[in-house]
Amino acid sequence: VFKKALTHATLRLSYSLTGDRPPVTNSLPIFTAVVPWRPFTTVQETGYDEQFGNKNLTYEKKHEFNLGFDFGFLDNRINLTADFYWRRNKDLIGYVNHPNLGSYNLANVAAMKSNGVELSLNTQNIRSRDFSWETNFIFSWTHNEITSLFTHARVIDLVQGTGYSLVGYPVNSIFSIPFAGLSSDGLPTFWDADGNRTTSGIYLQERDQDKIGFLKYEGPADPTTTGSFGNVFRYKNWDLNVFITYSFGNKVRLNPVFSNRYDDMDALPKEFRNRWAYSGNEATTDIPAIATRRQNRNDSQLNVAYNSYNYSDARIAKGDFIRMKEISLGYTFPASLISPIGINSLALKLQATNLFLFYADKKLNGQDPEFFNTGGVAAPVPKQFTL
């Protein structure tokens, strides 16, 4: 049965070893002309500034193995393409802050491994003289892991919404300060590096790698699974296209809107309607209270507590979504109608883009997970209608 249904089959294998040339770098010392500051503009002199060289700087290297299949069934009415890849990268270039190299110079700082799969399925479900129905499905999954890295990451670097890299985790991973609930006064509390519950005892500038292990790993900032699902229907001169996109596997850091002080110029999101208001609310909400003047006076570091809350696991949402990306309806005019007036072809098309989301995390409160900015998410992309 398989042989009778099979129309064509192709196997693709490839292995490559590449070394990407680094950009203009500090492999040699870099000297630039400067004009030093002097208290008077009439006193001018030239000088030079030196950027330390890194003689050990070398090319980035990548080993890649690809395995691919192409299958066609039932006179190519079903076509399947599958690609698998495995990559090993080393001597990856990044900026470092090192006493021997100077501040923020380029060096070979990391190595990583990655693998993934890409699938594409095209089916012609119905194919007749007046009506046809075609389906296209695309699926892509990827995984990567940092295997070595020269870093002096601080707590504040690891909890940012853009993500940060650590050995044993994916590129641009997001970490969180463990949230321990609200106190009886409505203030946020956390678990610190010693396992103690604290309000304002989190040190965000901590860079000792032995003291940042208390952070909770949330997931990568970049999606691991992406793809689309499209259907095209044609009936005589009419055609209808319905196109859906999806993305899963990443996490989003919600906007850092909480503070120990507010004023009349602050715009507060609707989460504040569910904030702690009186004793006992700590059992039903994780939104902290608006701190009073007395609370700020009793704890001069209360700003640390609210900033830690912004970067805690209570302020994490899934970046998953399923989007109705496009619906279009078109009509192609018959040649018998347009040829008498000297027109070869004429078509009319109505297209609607970014109509709505089938699914997104409720914690986003309507914000668009596909278009997130640094530390949060952006306003939704507007709907577009084109005729």
Which residue type sits at 191?
W
Residues 141 and 115 sit within 8 Å (Cβ to Cβ): no
Rounded alpha-carbon distances, angstroms, from residue 176 to 92, 199, 207, 238, 258: 26, 15, 15, 52, 16
pLDDT along the chain (387 residues), means of 10: 77 83 68 87 83 81 94 91 95 74 73 96 94 97 94 86 90 94 94 92 86 92 96 96 96 92 88 92 94 93 94 94 96 90 93 94 88 61 91
Q: Is 286 helix (H, G, I), strand (E, B) or coil?
A: coil
Residues 22 and 54 sit within 8 Å (Cβ to Cβ): no
Rounded alpha-carbon distances, angstroms, from residue 6 to 69, 121, 192, 377: 13, 15, 61, 47
Residues 368 and 255 sit within 8 Å (Cβ to Cβ): no
Q: What pTM value is reported for the model?
A: 0.85
